[in-house]
Every structure is written in structure tokens, then in C-alpha cells.
Amino acid sequence: MSDTRSDIRGDAQTPRMSATLAAFDAGLAPYAAHASQTRGRRFAEPPPAARSEFQRDRDRIVHSTAFRRLEYKTQVFVNHEGDLFRTRLTHSLEVAQIARSVARNLRVNEDLVEAISLAHDLGHTPFGHAGQDALNECMREHGGFEHNLQSLAVVDELEEHYGAFDGLNLCFETREGILKHCSREHARRLGDLGERFLLGRQPSLEAQIANIADEIAYNNHDVDDGLRSGLLTIEQLAEVELWQAHYEAARAEYPHIEGRRLVHETVRRIINTLIVDLIEETSRNLARHAPQSLDDVRAAPPIVAHSEGVAEQAAALKRFLYRNLYRHYRVMRMANKARRVVKGLFEAFSDDPRLLPPAYQTPDEASQPRQIAHYIAGMTDRYALKEYRRLFVVSDDV
Ligand code: MG
């Protein structure tokens, strides 16, 4: 295949450069994912000239259309509710920051962990989990909708950037990290990528780190955004051990500060505690299982983990957020509106696919619902609202 793909732009290999490829892996632990040992891409390409294979993946993700859309996709608060709340873009950047800190300490591949972190939410629908649940319901008869699989579809098929292939043609290890969960049914259809779900094996440490960094990021920024929005109060948070201990420590160290500054001093302490605990417990697990290679990591039980005490504290914070923020009546109202929009769009397009932009229309009736799901999943919050108005509100905006 490679001889027919000479049109792939840039990164032509030169003999002088080839020596540097292995150099990108210098200093990595033996159990890290080594870019020079990648299981490769779906379509063979010449190796990159001045960066590692995983750096190339990260760069392709940053330059993708789906990545830019994350700026206008909801985390908890819909984009137009305020300029300072997290979006999926800032969330993804925070995940990457946390994951890289952990990866560097454990001498595993920072470039891979960054690529996985930046890509992990590319398949999210507009309006966060409410949007995903609604689309999943709409797709029930047609194979369902799951944002992990959608993220994979974005990088494998949907991005239109390169002459030689659809998608971003990322390395196996990056795709493996993006596919966090997967049903056995889907796993059977995914070939080597689905294998681990059938065999009960783990992904790389880099994928495991990105997964927990995701939780650390959203637990903390949702507390911060919840307070900023006024939906949560400091008084309520007193019941959360992890919060209260650090809140008191921050006040003891800086008795004169209050408001946003005190919240931030508390949140940064929580994030730091979680990161340090994750590094320490994972180091203990590495010593216990002593993996000598990435294959050993895949065969071992999950290695990246919090200590028992901190895991319980983090779980309590998560439960608090479910009760008090994600189920807050104002968040529920937005979620309800989001469901209506997603379902309304899906029904209108299913009833008459001619309403779809031509790129999503297909003469194959059986695959039409999936095309509609791809179209809706790709929408930003505000694009979905606009499209809804265009379809359902009688005005001169067509
Ligand atoms: Mg996430």
C-alpha cells in the first residue's frame, strides 16, 4: 500500500532523521508505550521526520475539525450560559495537563498520554450526557450511540483532512486509549482493537492514566464551575471530606483570603493530592506486578489507581456532585431541553432525510440512521439549537 501513497504530505523520511526516532523514546521505562515500537497505523505511512509517531497523532488531533468543535460543546453548563465555565475543549486541556504530570513521573510516554487525553471526548454530542443519552435512545433500533465509539469513528472515518485516507489514521496505541469502554458485541466487530474487551486485558498505562486524569479533571472543575454558577455553595461542600480538609488547610495558611481565591487555593490542593496519590499508588502497583514490557501491562490487572482511602474520598466527591450539581433543577431543565432538541432533530431527519445536508444523505436506507447520528453528534451546542430553530420555527431563517 505504501507505494501508492506517495501523495501523503510531508514527513518524508530521510536517513539522517531515522536515528532520532528511537531518541524520542529515551528515558522511558520498559513498561511504557514506545513510539518506535508502535503496532502501527491502519494505512501504512512513512515514519515522521522530526517527531515521534505519537507526537504526530497529537498534532493531527489538534488540527482536526472535531477538536475545534469541543470549544462549543457542553461539559455541564451549556456554552451560552457563561464565558468562564469549562467546555469540552478546556476540559480536554486540563485532562492532558494532569495526565502528562503523572506520565512524566512514572516514565511513561507523555506524548501518547497527551494524544489520548486531547482526543478522548472528540465523539461527544452537543449538550453533554443529556445529548448522548437522547441520541442513544434515538438509535436504539439501529445499534445505539456511545460517545467512546463515536470518538473512534471521528478519528478512524469522519475527519476529512488527508488525501490518502479517511479519518486521522492514528496509531493503534492512541486508538486503544480512546476506546475506553466497549460492549462485547461491538468489540467483536472491532478486530484487534476490540480484542482486549473479549480477553479481559488492560490497555497501556498511558491509556489508564488518561482515564483517571479525566475523572480528576471533571470532579475538580465541576466543583469550581458549580460554585461559580451559584448552584453549589461552600456550606454544602462541608460534608465532603476531600473538600473540607483542603478548604481548612487553605484558610489556615491564608487567613485573609476569601471568595474565588479561596476556592482556587482549595481546588489546587485537591488536584495536587489526587495526582500525588495516583503516582504513589501506581508506583507501588508497578513494584508489585513488575511489568517488563507493554505486553506485561496488558496482561496484568489495572495498575494505575488511587490508594483505597483517596479512592473512597474521590468517590464521595463524585456522589456529592451527582446529588447536588448534575441533578440540580436548573441543570435538569437544560438537560430536558437538550433531549428535546436532539430527539426533534433526529425525528425530523429520519422522517425526511432530504432535510439533511447532502453529505449525510445516503441511498442506502439501512445506514441512514447512522449518518443522522454522525451529523447530530458533530454539532456544537449552539449549532444544534440553530438547526432546531431552522427546522421548527417559522421565520425567514432557513
Ligand atoms: Mg472527559
Return the domain boundaries, the chain.
36-330
Distance (Å, rounded) from C-alpha 110 to C-alpha 93?
14
**What's the full length of the chain, in residues?**
398
Query: Which residue in 223, 254, 391 sits closest to 318, CA to CA?
Result: 223
Mean pLDDT of 385-394: 92
How many Å lie between the centroid of ligand 1 and the Cα of residue 96?
Answer: 10
Q: Which residues contact 150 (CB under 8 A, 6 or more apart)?
A: 122, 123, 124, 125, 373, 377
Mean pLDDT of 177-190: 91
Instruction: Give the model's pLDDT for residue 396.
Output: 64
Cα-to-centroid distance, 392 and ligand 1 (Å): 32
Residue 15 has pLDDT above 70, yes or no: no
Nearest to 59 by CA among 181, 150, 171, 151: 171
Dist. CA 171 → ligand 1 center (Å): 21
Fold of the domain spanning 36-330: Hypothetical protein af1432 (1.10.3210)
Q: 160 exposed, middle or buried (CB, 10 Å; 0-12, 13-18, 19+)?
A: exposed
Query: Out of 74-83, 120-129, 264-273, which region has the weakest mean confidence (pLDDT)?
Result: 74-83
Q: How many CB atoms lie within 10 A of CB 195?
A: 14
Return phi, psi of residue 87, to 5°: -115, 180
Interval between CA 253 and ligand 1 midpoint (Å): 32
Distance 212 CA to ligand 1 centre (A): 10
Amino acid 92: pLDDT: 97
Longest CA span, the chain: 68
pLDDT digits (tens, 9 = 90+) for 203-248: 999 999 999 999 999 999 999 999 998 999 999 999 999 999 999 9
What's the gap in Å between 217 CA and the centre of ligand 1?
8
Which residues neighbour ligand 1 (ion) by CB within 5 Å? 121, 214
Question: According to the model, what pLDDT value does residue 78 have?
Answer: 66
% of the chain exceeding 70 in pLDDT: 93
* Alpha carbon of 121 to ligand 1 centroid (Å): 6
d(CA 36, CA 23): 9
| Residue 4 pLDDT exceeds 60 | no
